[in-house]
């Protein structure tokens, strides 16, 4: 008996395209592709260092806002009442002004005052100063003070002194054959001014 031939099934073009897409998807499926084999001699990569985080800056707290103080209105002071006038009969008489006491003269040693004045300085300049300003020039001790000179002149010549001025005279250089050898001794002189009508005479026993 002749076997009947089975007719071949007709496949459409759409079914062929679907079969091809499925086959391509299976070949590209993840995980099934073989990774390249690592070589045994290759060194392992060092692990990555962890990233450092920057420290957070602390947030400064906000200063609280002070509330505004209310300005209190100024209270005007009451006007002062003028004092009542005093009766002239009951009023006290003003006290008389106090007269200042005369200054006390300092007490000096008598023997010390006798050593203050060394000698009168008699020269053309001293006579000119004496005639014009009523002053007298004395050579005094180097450590003598103005109050001591005043007291010594009043004690020895019995006059009233108005003022005293002192000058330190520097000693001159002494030379020999044009070369300085030494210096003379320095000394001190005093200009004593007297009150009007007062004079000093260096003659013994004469003082006005």
Cβ neighbours of 140 (radius 10 Å): 26
> Whole-model pTM?
0.45
Closest CA to 137 of 121, 153, 158, 150: 121
Helix (H) or strand (E) holding 124, with range, is helix 124-133
The tally of domains found in the chain comes to 1
Name the residue with tokens 């759409």.
14
- Taking only the tens place, the pLDDT of each residue in 165-196 is 999 988 888 888 888 888 888 889 999 999 88
- Taking only the tens place, the pLDDT of each residue in 41-69 is 555 677 777 777 777 777 777 777 777 77
Please classify residue 192 by burial: count the beta carbons closer than 10 Å to its beta carbon, then call 0-12 exposed, 13-18 middle and 19+ buried.
buried
Closest CA to 161 of 130, 131, 195: 195
Closest CA to 165 of 195, 126, 192, 130: 192
Tell me what pLDDT residue 29 has: 47
Closest CA to 117 of 147, 164, 156, 170: 156
Give the angle 75-76-77 at the CA atoms, nearest 5°: 115
CB 140 within 8 A of CB 169: no
Q: 120: helix, coil or strand?
A: strand
The DSSP 8-state label assigned to residue 170 in this structure reads P
Domain of residue 115, residue span: 110-194
Establish if 202 belongs to a structural domain.
no
Is the C-alpha dihedral spanning 8, 9, 10, 13 positive or negative? negative
Establish if 121 belongs to a structural domain.
yes
Establish if 83 belongs to a structural domain.
no
Establish if 141 belongs to a structural domain.
yes
Tell me what pLDDT residue 16 has: 62
Question: What CATH number should be reported for the domain holding residue 119?
Answer: 3.30.70.330
- Taking only the tens place, the pLDDT of each residue in 80-118 is 887 777 776 666 677 778 787 766 656 788 888 889 999
Strand partners, 141: none
When the pLDDT of each residue in the chain is averaged and rounded to a whole number, the result is: 76
Establish if 143 belongs to a structural domain.
yes
Percent of the chain residues past pLDDT 70, beyond the cut: 70
| CA atoms of 184 and 172, how far apart (whole Å) | 5
Establish if 61 belongs to a structural domain.
no
Strand order in the sheet with 117-120: 117-120, 135-140, 187-194, 161-169
Establish if 173 belongs to a structural domain.
yes
Establish if 206 belongs to a structural domain.
no
């Amino acid at each position: 008996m002749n076997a009947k031939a089975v007719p071949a099934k007709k496949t459409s073009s759409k079914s062929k395209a679907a079969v091809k897409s499925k086959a391509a998807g299976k070949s590209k499926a993840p995980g099934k592709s073989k990774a390249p084999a690592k070589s045994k001699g290759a060194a392992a990569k060092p692990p990555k260092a962890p990233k450092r985080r920057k420290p957070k800056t602390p947030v400064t707290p906000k200063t609280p806002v002070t509330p505004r103080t209310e300005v209190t209105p100024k209270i005007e002071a009451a006007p002062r009442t003028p004092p009542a006038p005093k009766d002239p009969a009951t009023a006290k008489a003003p006290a008389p002004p106090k007269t200042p006491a005369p200054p006390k003269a300092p007490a000096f040693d008598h023997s010390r005052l006798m050593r203050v004045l060394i000698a009168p300085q008699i020269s053309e300049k001293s006579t000119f100063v004496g005639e014009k300003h009523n002053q007298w020039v004395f050579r005094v001790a180097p450590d003598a003070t103005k109050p001591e000179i005043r007291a010594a002149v009043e004690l020895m010549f019995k006059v009233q002194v108005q003022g005293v001025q002192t000058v330190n005279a520097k000693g001159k250089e002494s030379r020999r054959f044009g070369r300085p050898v030494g210096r003379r001794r320095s000394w001190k002189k005093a200009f004593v001014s007297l009150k009007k009508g007062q004079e000093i005479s260096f003659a013994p026993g004469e003082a006005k």
